[in-house]
Amino acid sequence: MASKRISPDLADLEKQIGYSFKTRVLLEQALTHVSAVKGPVTTDAYYERLEFLGDRVLGLAIAEILYRTFPSEDEGVLSRRLATLVRKESCAQVAEAWGVSPFIRLGPGEMQSGLRKKGVLLGDVCEAIIAAIYLDGGYETARSVVERGFGVKLHESDAGRRDAKSSLQEWALGRALPVPVYREVKRSGPDHAPLFVIAAEVQGFSPCEAEGPSKRLAEHAAAEAFMTREGVERP
């Protein structure tokens, strides 16, 4: 595992996150993109394995927090809240609040492309940092960091509402229309940072397009845009 310091100011980032690492190299790994690895590329030199673990730690932590915070809500509402809180956009917002972007280590090409500020990368790094905290300090410590970082989002007004695709489908079926169709219009960008343009199509209506860093997120954005255009209210 590479141990080269990324920045002399990592202590500032730790203050923002609210956790000081005993094994600083874990934080460095969480902040390192594969494009910045010099020499032989090993899986412990960049953040992707940590991201994989962090996604699961985040999901468990958020599920536990929701279970305690909303004791009267049923499984369906809790699931919708969970889906909202663990999505990449939410993780990216937390990473932005932590001030992570200047500390991310990228290769020259990726730096010039502006990858450092893209939501998909920030979301990935947020999850990797959560995994690094879990490995360094244990689950309870990671859960506390998650609760502080994501806590403000727990009571957002739309957190328990249906996701956009489910709401659009329900609306279409309620009007005796076929289930909405999502069509890929365009894909651009490199493999590690793709950008998809998806059209949401409902019979009898003009398609509505939106973009996102994955097909799933672009589909949800297109459904959201369609409902906004047609004045559809989500339950």
Catalytic residue among 55, 124, 136, 224: 55
Query: 59 with 82: CB under 8 angstroms?
Result: yes
Catalytic residue among 28, 127, 136, 224: 127
The torsion defined by the Cα of 26, 86, 118 and 9, in degrees rounded to 10, comes to -30
Q: Verify whether residue 55 is a known catalytic residue.
A: yes
Tokens describing residue 38? 């010099």
Q: Verify whether residue 127 is a known catalytic residue.
A: yes
Q: Quote the radius of gyration of the chain (alpha carbons, Å).
A: 19
Separation of alpha carbons 200 and 230, rounded Å = 12
Active site residues: 55, 127
